[in-house]
Structure 1
């Protein structure tokens, strides 16, 4: 069993421990922050890179729905392109699992002279991002061995807790759906062999994979596309499902795998319609959905994977699991060691070339 497979299987236990121990330390951090006085945030900007950014996107959607002025941005865009540039009175939530991601570190260095309150969401205290933050919400989950697995879900759950509290909601309003999401994740784990087999049997004539979603579960769709690239070494990208229909659907066809993540919510019927459109192009369509939508997706021509129905803000956890296993099987079929990087270190500490694994285009024997 690869280290990536062990990380995938370890998620339920890691998230249960996060739910048990996280709120106490997070409340201490938030109490210290509030003790500094001053008004609440004028605006909340969540930022990160890679999986940390994806978790920020999912959380920001929930925060806006809870009445908070929230936005998510790539740390690199904030650093160089300016928008939405944090201003005095804003709270910047810097998400970095390692606490060493170069763009996040440099952004906080640039903001040091501004009246911007910085909160860090990071694996542990004592790293550069934590050191430049006014409050630190630590994950304290066992580290992943490369590809972000536990750290992605833990970051998302932590950000949702933060949003709940900033919106004035009691901890119980986070606790119940968080537990439901972890139980859903655990209940799906016995299907790992099925999804591994699906990945191993992937049509070798495929040229690309696109993941499609709307709303908070887009965090999982972005992560699923990244796993296609990182784990299976296969060209994959994410599109917001509505935007996809405005021209990008022209790329659909028998050689493009279309993956829809469809949680319960007001746009579920739109995803079923999109599945039907995609099937008419000849594209193979794979969809994750709660049981009440799975049959409709099958009728639309999709291969539907049922996942338990949990609140949409927390649905990224169970919807992502099939893609974690699928990309492991796909990597094996393509001759790669699942989760082993070929060209990059697991933490990007430099914006230019740095020592790392030697290129290995053929055998998957990377790092």
Structure 2
């Protein structure tokens, strides 16, 4: 069988992130200094789908490392409701592959009108979102032909992680970001086939995580839905203990992203309870996991190679379930919502 576009784009991800960091290093450093000088009390993000999951990782990095609260604002607040926003002195970060969706463009414009400084993270530089921003971080990831976004999601997350490193002037995080292409390359060589049998025959699944692994879990659940037609939901390792725990039955598949940070012990407890309830839980961890992961040298970035490992698994799972991961029957590459 010929290689799918999704597989080729997964394989290109380490190089795409390396190109991004090389080409945009000076811009990222300058924007980081600018944000440090602005010292915003709040950041808002605007994105949908995989781009919103990249923004979710940015949220955790900002809140954990900078102490700056980050809120995801629904684009319809601007595009449909025309609500006035009180954002003077804030920063709005918009993340989009195409930069074309009218609602994302509308929210950026409304935020700027309300006094916010706008940053656009886009793969397409010649786009309304890019042209309407105060600062632009072009991904330069190249064409992504598969409907399922992979390398653009990880490139967006890498750009935002690099921005936090520069904003905080954080040498440890900066070094881990610089080493991210090598960690991603290492993730490509890891084997997750042990989880295929349970997920191939499943009708539902969970993905869980804490901290910066939670948006990775959300992205994993999205990919299982869009490429494998597998109903999957994402929860934090805490929230899954409430109503969602009731759905577990013997063999119910769960993938748990567990980086080695302050959430590690809490995640171990969650995994133990899910297993006791009958769940077939596969932990993803750099050390001691059921599925291997490539470390970055900074635990808050470790979910990113985990996500690339998952992408390879998702592509194989889609084919095992009889689906073309490049062409989901009800989806298209650019979704323009209002």
**How high is the TM-score relative to the length of structure 1?**
0.82
List gaps (5 residues or longer) in structure 2: none
The structure with the larger Rg is 1
Q: Secondary structure at the match of 1:92?
A: strand
Q: Where in structure 1 are there 5+ consecutive unaligned residues?
A: 295-303, 352-367
8 Å CA contact retained: 2:91, 2:119 = yes
Q: Within 5 Å, which residues of 2 pair with 1:150-299?
A: 150-167=151-168, 169=169, 172-191=171-190, 194-195=191-192, 198-199=195-196, 201-202=197-198, 205-254=201-250, 256-291=252-287, 293-294=288-289
Distance, in Å, in 2 between the alignment partners of 1:267 and 1:240 is 11
| Aligned equivalent of 1:315 | 302
Residues 60-75 of structure 1: matches in 2 within 5 Å? 60-75=59-74
Q: 1:342 to 1:86 in 2, by over 3 A?
A: farther
Tell me: CA distance 1:308–1:27, structure 2 relative to 1, closer, same or farther (3 Å). closer
Per the alignment, do residues 113 and 22 of structure 1 end up closer, same or farther by CA in structure 2, a change over 3 Å counting? Answer: closer
- Distance in 2 (CA, whole Å) between partners of 1:173 and 1:261 is 22
Contact 2:216 2:303 in 1 (8 A): yes
For residues 139-175 of structure 1, the C-alpha deviation after alignment (integer angstroms, 9 at most, x for no partner) is 11123222111111111111122223333x15x5443
CA deviation vs aligned residue, 1:169-190 (integer Å, no higher than 9, x gap): 15x5443101333322212322
Distance 2:64 2:199 in 1: 40
Note the C-alpha offset of 1:206. Answer: 2.0
Cα distance in 2, alignment partners of residues 151 and 334 from structure 1: 25
Bigger relative contact order, structure 1 or 2 (CA pairs below 8 A, ≥6 apart): 2
How far apart, CA to CA, are the structure 2 residues paired with 1:173 and 1:29? 19
Let me know the Cα RMSD of the aligned residues. Answer: 2.6
- Residues 32 and 166 in structure 2, CA contact (< 8 A), matched pair in contact too: no
- SS at the partner of 2:66? coil
User: For residues 59 and 29 of structure 1, do their structure 2 counterparts lie closer, same or farther at Cα, with a shift above 3 Å needed?
Assistant: closer
Q: 1:6 to 1:50 in 2, by over 3 A?
A: same
From the superposition, tell whether residues 24 and 284 of structure 1 become closer, same or farther in structure 2 (CA, over 3 Å): same
Which range is displaced more, 22-31 or 59-68?
A: 22-31
SS, match of residue 155 in structure 1: helix
